[in-house]
Amino acid sequence: MDDGRYPRNAWRQTADDTVYAFIEKAADALADAAEDAEPSDVISEIEPDTYTADLTAWLHARDDHVYFLTEVLEEGLGVTDGFQLLAAAQQIQIHEVGQALVSALEDAAETIEEEAEDEQEDN
């Protein structure tokens, strides 16, 4: 839930190593996906880190990552331990970054198509 209380999309303004790592993870997943796979489905299948040390390193990387924890708690997902909380929070950010990448790629493809059409019309 994004009700404006938390700076949840702050990563769009100031990318860091975790965002770049998630972009790479999303790009790899998209590249490895079947040609007919829906990009949003591919992104939704990306899993968070499996080791607690990696999850706590992610949390430590930026102060605003704590807001992803808050979102998980507010969603009432039945999280029963700290590991699940961290993993669910990281997964939210992975999916947000992945969906932003998909949108950017779709926009770029559309722009290229439009430019190609304009070029054909000019010739």
Q: Where are the domains of the chain?
A: 12-122
Can you give the pTM of this predicted structure? 0.81
* Helix/strand/coil for 36: coil
Q: Would you give the DSSP letter of residue 81?
A: S
> Sign of torsion, CA 4 7 9 14?
positive
- Interval 5-24: pLDDT, tens: 444 554 454 668 899 999 99
Q: Write down how long the chain is.
A: 123
**Whole-angstrom Cα Rg for the chain:** 17
Long-range contacts of 58-62 (CB under 8 A, 24+ apart): 58/18, 58/86, 58/90, 59/86, 59/89, 59/90, 61/16, 61/17, 61/18, 62/11, 62/16, 62/18
- Interval 59-116: pLDDT, tens: 999 999 999 999 999 998 889 999 999 999 999 999 999 999 999 999 998 999 888 8
